[in-house]
């Protein structure tokens, strides 16, 4: 074959390979030009050339947005035009008065203002797919916890208003001389006052959060104490079942059709003194999930991630590993995988647990919390490296990921999904102004991400709508539109622990719900009733 023909084939092959690696829009490709043209150092572009280059540059950026590849049908375009008009109005107003821009403020300072946002109201109506990062004892609203205090045989030790708060316990008999029946306390406090007190102690909410919590360690201390105080109340077996079932209903009402939740498997007990085994607790979850699915056909389902504390000793961790294996054997499809929870900075690192973790069967998926920190070069942010090397399918929070460029490359190459929890990151003092959230980069360059709510009960937020709103208006570009929200919903199915058959069914259910809601929204927009 002649040398000139061989050379042409080689050049053509290289061009095709380059396009396959990094495709750019056709209008940005022309002979001898690029999105940003180069000229001799001594020459400047004309103003017309400059404007054209600038437009190409902006279009090239937008081409990489998360959701940029989503195509919208006629109704979606109508809804998108309406939604973006509302979004632009809010953002222009915020641009001129940033103090009153909701995502720029602590959620506790502006909770009552979400309901005034028309963007938020639209987001509430949209099917959001699934929540892939949440914790079993903080799923449902504090109202569900208050409801539990109306049950019989509930005792209380201690008073409201002290730093540690009262203790609760269900028992047939008086647990001790310092204990009183809650039903009797209610009589002299009144139900209204008592309910308000319970709502206060089982929430991180404070009207002056910036002064109430001086540091990350400060808020984490109260945060972790919440779980300890809540446990005897919520881990009473009948309450445990009811709380989970009612939480599923709240997620469903917020147009969340799927849930993957973490759980430490605490001591669940009953009035006869029985302490339920790990298998029995997960069985409760499974039964309640199946019952909810049967009564709510549009609901896709739920899976459980076993997530014990990261403060476990080596001996305790051996027992944890054994529990994980038993659960995996008994619930091969309902158990989504394994994680470790608790504040990362003082907790043990993934590196310390790695020898034992590597002995778990490869069929047990890892979904590690990693990089939930503001530190750089410490053991906490290096958990990100270990999460990648240990084969984690998703990474919880990943807040410090921008400080590790190689991790960024690997999560895109390996398609490791980052579970972003905007409100949690703010309440737990990683970021104050959501416009500074590192997820902005992940949204801008089509990284594998989902948005979740972590512990919505403790910050008095909805199961997902508040986090979606903050992500859409505060973290994403002002130009990112309905396609972003649709992509996030699709990602929550794609990066879930469901198998391929389950994902196919899930996408069908979500697509139908999305179609119905978009059609209803389009009708309301045309009628002027939104």
For residue range 387-440, what is the model confidence (pLDDT) as tens digits?
A: 999 999 999 999 999 999 999 999 999 999 999 999 999 999 999 999 999 999
Closest CA to 372 of 307, 437, 312, 278: 437
pLDDT band at 43 (very low <50, low <70, confident <90, very high): confident
Residue 32 main-chain phi, psi, to 5 deg: 75, 10
Q: Residues 98-121: what's their mean pLDDT?
A: 97
Catalytic residue among 76, 260, 288, 372: 372
pLDDT at 20: 37
State both tokens at 485. 């929200």
pLDDT band at 227 (very low <50, low <70, confident <90, very high): confident
For residue range 55-84, what is the model confidence (pLDDT) as tens digits?
A: 999 999 999 999 999 999 999 999 999 999
Closest CA to 366 of 399, 402, 390: 390
Which of 24-38, 223-237, 370-384 reaches the highest mean pLDDT? 370-384
Closest CA to 68 of 451, 446, 499, 474: 446
> At residue 314, does pLDDT exceed 80?
yes
Catalytic residue among 106, 245, 255, 397: 397
Residues in contact with 506: Cβ distance below 8 Å, sequence separation at least 6, in sequence order: 130, 257, 258, 300, 301, 493, 496, 498
Closest CA to 279 of 331, 237, 339: 331
Q: Which alpha helices (DSSP H) does 235-313 contain, by range?
A: 237-253, 278-295
Reported pTM: 0.91
Residues in contact with 132: Cβ distance below 8 Å, sequence separation at least 6, in sequence order: 260, 394, 417, 419, 450, 452, 492, 495, 496
What separation in angstroms does the CA of 315 have from each of 276, 321, 349, 356, 516?
Answer: 21, 10, 16, 11, 53
For residue range 163-200, what is the model confidence (pLDDT) as tens digits?
A: 667 999 999 999 999 999 999 999 999 999 999 999 99
Residues in contact with 266: Cβ distance below 8 Å, sequence separation at least 6, in sequence order: 137, 231, 235
| R_g of the chain computed on alpha carbons | 26
Contact 480, 445 (CB under 8 A): no
Q: Which residue do the tokens 């001389």 mark?
A: 177
pLDDT at 162: 67
What separation in angstroms does the CA of 115 have from each of 41, 123, 124?
Answer: 54, 11, 10
Mean pLDDT score across all residues of the chain: 92
pLDDT at 174: 96
Annotation says 397 is catalytic: yes
pLDDT band at 325 (very low <50, low <70, confident <90, very high): very high
Residues in contact with 521: Cβ distance below 8 Å, sequence separation at least 6, in sequence order: 75, 79, 82, 122, 125, 530
CA 106-111-113 angle, 5° bins: 110
Contact 204, 106 (CB under 8 A): no
Q: Percent of the chain scored above 70 by pLDDT?
A: 92
pLDDT at 407: 98
Contact 336, 263 (CB under 8 A): no
pLDDT at 39: 53
Second CATH level (architecture) for the domain 102-141+221-518: Alpha-Beta Barrel (3.20)
Contact 168, 198 (CB under 8 A): no
Strands 154-157 and 167-170, how do they pair? Answer: antiparallel
**C-alpha to C-alpha distance for 338 and 362, rounded to whole angstroms:** 11
**C-alpha to C-alpha distance for 234 and 253, rounded to whole angstroms:** 22
For residue range 444-467, what is the model confidence (pLDDT) as tens digits?
A: 999 999 999 999 999 999 999 999
Q: Which alpha helices (DSSP H) does 336-404 contain, by range?
A: 350-357, 383-389
pLDDT at 38: 53
Q: Residues 252-259: what's their mean pLDDT?
A: 98
Question: Could you state, in order of their start, the residue ranges of all structural domains in the chain?
Answer: 102-141+221-518, 152-202
> At residue 21, does pLDDT exceed 50?
no
Q: Residues 33-46: what's their mean pLDDT?
A: 64
> At residue 15, does pLDDT exceed 70?
no
pLDDT at 31: 37
> At residue 201, does pLDDT exceed 80?
yes
**C-alpha to C-alpha distance for 263 and 261, rounded to whole angstroms:** 7
For residue 84, with 0-12 CB atoms within 10 Å meaning exposed, 13-18 middle and 19 or more buried, which class applies? middle
Q: Percent of the chain scored above 90 by pLDDT?
A: 88
**C-alpha to C-alpha distance for 458 and 407, rounded to whole angstroms:** 31
For residue 199, with 0-12 CB atoms within 10 Å meaning exposed, 13-18 middle and 19 or more buried, which class applies? middle
Strand order in 394-397's β-sheet?
Answer: 367-370, 394-397, 417-420, 449-451
Strands 301-306 and 258-263, how do they pair? Answer: parallel
What separation in angstroms does the CA of 35 have from each of 26, 27, 49?
Answer: 11, 9, 11
């Amino acid at each position: 074959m002649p040398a000139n023909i061989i050379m042409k084939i080689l050049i053509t092959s290289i061009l095709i390979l380059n396009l396959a690696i990094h495709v750019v829009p056709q209008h940005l490709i022309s002979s001898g030009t690029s999105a940003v043209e180069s000229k001799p150092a001594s020459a400047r572009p004309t103003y017309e050339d400059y404007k054209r280059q600038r437009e190409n540059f902006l279009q090239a950026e937008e081409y990489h947005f998360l959701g940029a590849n989503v195509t919208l049908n006629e109704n979606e375009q109508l809804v998108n035009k309406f939604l973006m008009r509302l979004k632009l109005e809010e953002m222009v107003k915020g641009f001129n008065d940033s103090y009153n821009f909701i995502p720029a403020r602590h959620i506790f300072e502006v909770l009552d203002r979400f309901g005034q946002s028309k963007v938020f109201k639209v987001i509430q109506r949209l099917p959001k797919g699934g929540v892939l990062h949440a914790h079993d004892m903080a799923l449902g609203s504090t109202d569900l916890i208050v409801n539990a205090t109306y049950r019989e045989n509930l005792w209380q030790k201690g008073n409201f208003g002290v730093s540690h708060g009262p203790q609760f316990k269900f028992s047939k008999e008086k647990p001790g001389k310092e204990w009183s029946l809650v039903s009797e306390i209610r009589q002299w406090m009144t139900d209204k006052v008592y309910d308000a007190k319970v709502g206060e102690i089982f929430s991180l909410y404070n009207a002056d959060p910036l002064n109430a919590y001086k540091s990350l360690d400060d808020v984490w201390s109260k945060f972790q104490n919440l779980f300890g105080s809540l446990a005897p109340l919520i881990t009473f077996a009948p309450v445990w079942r009811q709380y989970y079932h009612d939480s599923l209903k709240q997620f469903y009402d917020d147009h969340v059709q799927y849930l993957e939740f973490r759980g430490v498997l605490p001591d669940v007990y009953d009035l006869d003194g029985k302490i339920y085994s790990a298998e029995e607790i997960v069985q409760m979850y499974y039964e309640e999930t199946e019952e909810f699915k049967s009564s709510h056909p549009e609901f896709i389902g739920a899976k459980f991630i076993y997530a014990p504390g990261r403060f476990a000793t080596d001996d305790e961790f051996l027992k944890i590993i054994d529990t994980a294996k038993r659960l995996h054997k008994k619930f091969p499809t309902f158990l989504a995988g394994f994680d470790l929870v608790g504040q990362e900075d003082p907790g043990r690192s993934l590196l310390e647990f790695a020898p034992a973790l590597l002995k778990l069967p490869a069929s047990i998926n890892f979904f590690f919390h990693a990089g939930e920190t503001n530190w750089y070069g410490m053991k906490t942010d290096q958990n990100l490296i270990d999460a990648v090397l240990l084969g984690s399918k998703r990474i919880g929070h990943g807040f410090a990921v921008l400080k590790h460029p190689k991790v960024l490359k690997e999560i895109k190459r390996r398609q490791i999904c980052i579970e972003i929890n905007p409100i949690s990151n703010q309440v737990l003092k990683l970021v104050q102004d959501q416009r500074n959230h590192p997820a902005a980069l992940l949204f801008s360059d089509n990284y594998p991400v989902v948005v979740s709510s972590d512990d919505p009960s403790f910050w008095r937020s909805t199961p997902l709508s508040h986090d979606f709103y903050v992500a859409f208006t505060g973290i994403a570009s002002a130009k990112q539109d309905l396609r972003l929200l649709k992509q996030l919903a699709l990602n929550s199915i794609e990066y879930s622990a469901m198998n391929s058959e389950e994902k196919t069914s899930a996408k069908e259910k979500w697509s139908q719900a999305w179609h119905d809601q978009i059609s209803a929204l389009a009708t309301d927009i045309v009628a002027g009733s939104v």
